[in-house]
Structure 1
């Protein structure tokens, strides 16, 4: 099925709604109404966009959220998680979890730090680095000798964006290309300091690379009117750990690891907001092929 710009715009609305209501009842009828399509038509376009049925997507997202909590918070019980994410019983939650991860929730919690602790890095095809993000760092990572000197913790003002979502790292390149092709005629690339960013809504620790949801976008001075598949967005104000880097792509794994170590060692906890990176150059034009990039972790 060929998706139109209107289809993608509607899917973006639905994805945002699902993200905000994972702990509530989610039905095909309610979500299709958000997307302004009939349930039958919405189900077709959603599967074409995500390669999953709506039910599969919602169950996966809930299980991934639950798995993240299992690794981070030892005081929450499996019963509490099963209720929070809409499972009818502990046994139904355990069956779904084991089918997805291959182990029970309790075994996942016991084994988690050994198995689900490596940060993986993906190189974007658009000439910009694309880093995967972790909401937590394995306690065994204690080597901070490479900690960057340009790191700060401060509150930022809200940042307006215009862009669109994609699912799967292989789709990030074409998504950025679509944004650039749209932004050129709109005059947004004429500004000498225009910047691009990627927001990550999933952790590569618990989500397969072809399922990770990302938002590719341009930073803008003020909210812009949505246009076709491009929707306005906002990076919320608040406290962030920020690292300023001039590094080769190969160093991204190290600097992201060290940034999360810094968060862990300084006692901060990640807020329920997507981490992101802002690009300041095309590394191919740098004399040493380095990336000028700021990495942001929202914290409380």
Structure 2
């Protein structure tokens, strides 16, 4: 079995985990979904994700809990631990404190209204502390950025079919795009005049470390494809999105996303449980100022 086949099978498992965090996720069940034996599955999963299956599932559940505790303060603790697959408040509390170094109730109390990122740090005496990293910019500066660099619309986006390749961590997204483009060239899909590249974010940088965030390198398709090697057909659902078209440099992307999410909150919009994505309308390397013409798209209710 090739490494491409391994990645394709593990991607099926990651999709399943994301969609079933509330359920029991035994190794045997997940191995079956990936068409592995339990023994080989555990080894290959760790090779792909750099985490054991248990640590990966626990991290995903704790990250989801952290986001709900900080952003959904109307939800009860019971609703939250049930929604991520825990039956016992004490087990949830112990697991959360082990992961973040603080109880769920204290985490909720300490979380500010707006924050850039949740980080855990290890103190000099080996204890975990949670830090809510604040924005480097004041809200007024963020608003200035949006008013002067961003064309913001609320739009109904159509369903889109994309060919996509998995990247675990921002450090691997370039390799994922290289794999995708090589595949597209072999299929005579690329280069073409109207081909659009799309990056899809399956994790939030607010709570997931950059080297663990799950990202898909994508290419918009005119017709559906069959899964082949590392390349999967991915469906981006239709629905309401905040869409901000910007012409910016690569270092400005983080500021653009931060500002757009702040704009979403300031204007009373609620995030919908789908994946944010970027649609690129040019090759920034051909731009005289190395700027990207890009749509930042946030799904909302």
1:117 pairs with 115, 118, 127, which one?
115
**Structure 1 segment 94-133 matched on structure 2, within 5 A:** 94-113=93-112, 117-118=115-116
Encode CA deviations 1:194-237: one digit per residue, 9 max, x unaligned: 12111111111111111111111111012111111211011100
Question: Could you tell me how far 1:262 is from its partner in structure 2?
Answer: 2.1
Provide the C-alpha distance between the structure 1 equivalents of 2:187 and 2:112, rounded to a whole number of angstroms.
47
Q: CA deviation at 1:142?
A: 5.0
Return the TM-score normalized by structure 2: 0.87
Structure 2 gaps, min length 5: 119-134
Secondary structure in 1 matching 2:145: coil
- Structure 1 residues 58-87: Cα deviation after superposition (integer angstroms, max 9, x where no partner): 111011001100011112222322222223
Partner Cα distance (2:74, 2:2) in 1: 44
Residue 155 (structure 1) aligns with:
156
SS in 1 for 2:139: coil
Would the aligned equivalents of 1:119 and 1:257 in 2 still touch at CA under 8 Å? no
Question: RCO (CA 8 Å, sep 6+): is it higher in 1 or 2?
Answer: 1
Matches within 5 A, 1:1-300: 4-113=3-112, 117-118=115-116, 141=139, 143=141, 144-147=143-146, 148-300=149-301
The 3-state SS of whatever aligns with 1:293 is: strand
Superposed CA deviations along residues 34-72 of structure 1, whole A, max 9, x for unmatched, are 111111111111111001111111111011001100011
Shift of 1:249: 2.2
Q: Would the aligned equivalents of 1:12 and 1:164 in 2 still touch at CA under 8 Å?
A: no
Which sections of structure 1, spanning at least 5 residues, go unmatched? Answer: 121-136
Contact 1:197–1:216 (Cα < 8 Å) also in 2: yes
Please list the CA deviations of residues 247-268 of structure 1 after superposition, one character each: whole Å capped at 9, or x if unmatched: 1223223322221122112211
The Cα offsets for residues 265-298 of structure 1, whole Å up to 9 and x where unpaired, read as 2211110001010112222210111111110000
Tell me, what secondary structure is at the counterpart of 1:190? coil
Shift of 1:94: 1.4
RMSD of aligned residue pairs (Cα, Å) = 2.1
Instruction: Name the TM-score, length of structure 1 as normaliser.
Output: 0.88
Contact 1:223 1:232 in 2 (8 A): yes
Contact in 1 for aligned 2:164/2:216 (Cα 8 Å): yes
